[in-house]
């Protein structure tokens, strides 16, 4: 950091406080409630908090949301339609991707693909 940078920041914060820039912040006048401790190390905890506040979701959570959306679409489509087959492929892809992120293979996928692989190889 630049020498004197912290002093400049502190001065700007104090000036903003005097002008009332922080008067209408959420939670003003209420006790500060700490979130439960994150299992990550102290070094990473602040980074996770910042990512959460910025609306970032970990890849696994993003995939779970997409999987849920695909499942809902699948329920709403006719089982014999081409759209149903497209959504099924997308859902299988998303499940595979999620399992890959977790370092394993889902039994749901294994059974289905195992049958298809055996049928094609026979």
Question: Would you say 34 and 51 are in contact if contact means Cβ atoms under 8 Å apart?
Answer: no
| Cβ-proximal residues to 113 (8 Å cutoff; 6+ apart), any chain | 92
pLDDT for residue 112 is more than 80: no
Cα–Cα distance measured from residue 76 to residue 87, given in angstroms and rounded to the nearest whole number = 11
Cα–Cα distance measured from residue 122 to residue 79, given in angstroms and rounded to the nearest whole number = 27
For the chain, strand residue ranges (E) read: none
Q: What is the value of pTM for the model shown? A: 0.46
Percent of the chain with pLDDT over 70: 77
pLDDT in tens, 38-81: 555 667 777 777 887 888 877 788 888 899 999 999 888 888 88
Cα–Cα distance measured from residue 87 to residue 18, given in angstroms and rounded to the nearest whole number = 57
Query: Left (φ > 0), alpha (ψ -120 to 50) or beta: where does 104 sit?
Result: beta
């Amino acid at each position: 950091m630049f020498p004197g940078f912290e002093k400049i920041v502190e001065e700007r914060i104090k000036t903003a406080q005097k002008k009332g820039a922080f008067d209408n912040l959420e939670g003003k006048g209420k006790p500060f409630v700490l979130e439960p401790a994150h299992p990550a190390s102290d070094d990473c905890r602040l980074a996770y908090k910042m990512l959460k506040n910025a609306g970032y979701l970990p890849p696994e959570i993003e995939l779970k949301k997409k999987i849920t959306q695909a499942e809902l679409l699948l329920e709403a489509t006719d089982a014999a339609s081409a759209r149903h087959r497209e959504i099924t492929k997308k859902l299988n892809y998303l499940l595979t991707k999620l399992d890959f992120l977790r370092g394993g293979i889902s039994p749901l996928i294994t059974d289905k693909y195992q049958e298809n692989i055996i049928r094609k190889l026979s």
